[in-house]
Amino acid sequence: MERAVVIIVDMLTDFVTGALRADRSNKIIQPLRKLVEAARKNGVPVIFSNDAHYPGDFEVVHKWGEHAIKGTPGAEVIPELQPQEGDFIVEKRTYSGFYETGLEPLLRSLYDGEGAKTVILGGLHTNICVRHTSADAFFRGYKIVIPEDGVEAFTKEAHEAGLKYLQEIYNAEITHVDEIIEKFEK
Ligand code: ZN
């Protein structure tokens, strides 16, 4: 995997145990923990792409209600995945981690300015923020890798449909956390 980064999407208190809780998110916590630990150990940058809403944001008012309001406990990364020194946190205000955020210049600055080439996406939700972030990554020419044991959604159907779409439309490589870690270590 050439010049890879790991992007962890919305593993925030409100999405795991709070306002927009998805019970299925519990099973991806340990795999994601393994993934970020292996990434750090192998010099692969770790980026947290986090909702940080203002109360008047369109998707808050018109779709989901209050969640991940900037500065509240609901907008914090869950304790099991706490960002560490050297990780990056990029706040977003709607589904895509690229939309009006600093993610794109960050990706270009990595690897001594050569830029990232491969984005490994984990987190929530397979069919919403992971999908929209993948769309923007695809538009910009990044290779997309998705560990299917590292993304989830509100329902099994939504998760599976999300994976299928990522693979068919963005040519995402659907794989597993352990296989990604093996490639880091090669
Ligand atoms: Zn949101």
Q: Is the pLDDT of residue 29 over 90?
A: yes
Token digits of residue 36: 């970020």
Q: Is this prediction's pTM over 0.85?
A: yes
Residue 89 Cα, ligand 1 centroid: separation in angstroms? 16
Q: Which domain holds residue 10?
A: 4-184
Residue 128 Cα, ligand 1 centroid: separation in angstroms? 10
Residue 59 Cα, ligand 1 centroid: separation in angstroms? 6
Residue 77 Cα, ligand 1 centroid: separation in angstroms? 14
Residue 135 Cα, ligand 1 centroid: separation in angstroms? 17
User: How many domains are there within the chain?
Assistant: 1
Share of the chain above pLDDT 90, in %: 98
Long-range contacts of 87-91 (CB under 8 A, 24+ apart): 87/36, 87/40, 87/45, 87/46, 87/47, 87/48, 88/45, 88/46, 88/47, 88/48, 89/47, 89/48, 89/50, 90/47, 90/48, 90/49, 90/50, 91/50, 91/51, 91/52
Residue 96 Cα, ligand 1 centroid: separation in angstroms? 10
Long-range contacts of 86-91 (CB under 8 A, 24+ apart): 86/40, 86/46, 87/36, 87/40, 87/45, 87/46, 87/47, 87/48, 88/45, 88/46, 88/47, 88/48, 89/47, 89/48, 89/50, 90/47, 90/48, 90/49, 90/50, 91/50, 91/51, 91/52
Residue 86 Cα, ligand 1 centroid: separation in angstroms? 25
pLDDT of residue 186: 83
Helix, strand, or coil (residue 48): strand
CA 90, 31, 118 angle in degrees (round to 5)?
Answer: 50
- Confidence band of 41 (pLDDT split at 50, 70, 90): very high
Instruction: Quick: pLDDT tens for 117-169.
Output: 999 999 999 999 999 999 999 999 999 999 999 999 999 999 999 999 999 99
Residue 179 Cα, ligand 1 centroid: separation in angstroms? 30
Instruction: Quick: pLDDT tens for 42-86.
Output: 999 999 999 999 999 999 999 999 999 999 999 999 999 999 999
What CATH number is attached to the domain comprising 93?
A: 3.40.50.850
Q: Does a cis peptide bond (omega within 30 degrees of 0) precede residue 132?
A: no
Residue 143 Cα, ligand 1 centroid: separation in angstroms? 25
pLDDT of residue 76: 98
pLDDT of residue 111: 97
Residue 67 Cα, ligand 1 centroid: separation in angstroms? 6
Residue 46 Cα, ligand 1 centroid: separation in angstroms? 21
Residue 63 Cα, ligand 1 centroid: separation in angstroms? 9
